[in-house]
Amino acid sequence: MGSFRYLKFMHVHHLLDKNSIANTFISQLRNVNIQSDRLRFRRNIERLGEILGYELSKKLSFKNVEVQTPLGTANVPLHKEELVICSILRAGLPLHNGLLNYFDAADNSFISAYRHHPNDDAQFEIIVEYLASPSLEGKTLILADPMLATGRSFVNVLQALEQMGTPKEIHLVSVIAAKEGIKLLEENFPENSHLWVATIDQELDERGYIVPGLGDAGDLCFGPKEQH
Chain CA centroid to CA 99, Å: 9
Q: Is residue 61 one of the residues assigned to a domain? A: yes
The domain that holds 136 is classified in CATH as 3.40.50.2020
Assess whether pLDDT exceeds 90 at residue 2. no
What element of type H or E holds 75?
Answer: strand 72-79
Per-residue pLDDT tens for 24-46?
999 999 999 999 999 999 999 99
Q: Is residue 187 one of the residues assigned to a domain? A: yes
| pLDDT of 172 | 98
Q: Is residue 161 one of the residues assigned to a domain? A: yes
Per-residue pLDDT tens for 70-113?
999 999 999 999 999 999 988 999 999 999 999 999 999 999 87
Domain that holds residue 92: 10-214
| pLDDT of 192 | 82
Assess whether pLDDT exceeds 90 at residue 4. no
Contacts of 168-171 with C-beta under 8 Å, sequence gap 24+, read 168/81, 168/138, 168/139, 168/140, 169/81, 169/140, 169/141, 169/193, 169/194, 170/140, 170/141, 170/142, 170/143, 170/194, 171/56, 171/59, 171/140, 171/141, 171/142, 171/143, 171/195, 171/196
Strand pairing partners for 84? 107, 141
Q: Is residue 228 one of the residues assigned to a domain? A: no
pLDDT over 70 percentage in the chain: 89
**Mean pLDDT of the chain, nearest integer:** 90
Q: Is residue 67 one of the residues assigned to a domain? A: yes
Assess whether pLDDT exceeds 50 at residue 149. yes
φ, ψ for residue 80, nearest 5 deg: -110, 5
**Residue 61 contacts residue 171 (beta carbons within 8 Å):** no
Q: Is residue 222 one of the residues assigned to a domain? A: no
pLDDT over 90 percentage in the chain: 79
pTM equals 0.89
Q: Is residue 130 one of the residues assigned to a domain? A: yes
Per-residue pLDDT tens for 116-132?
555 665 565 667 788 99
Q: Is residue 79 one of the residues assigned to a domain? A: yes
Per the structure, the count of domains in the chain is 1
How far, in Å, are 151, 158, 180, 192 from residue 186 at the CA level?
A: 10, 13, 10, 10
**Residue 131 contacts residue 160 (beta carbons within 8 Å):** yes
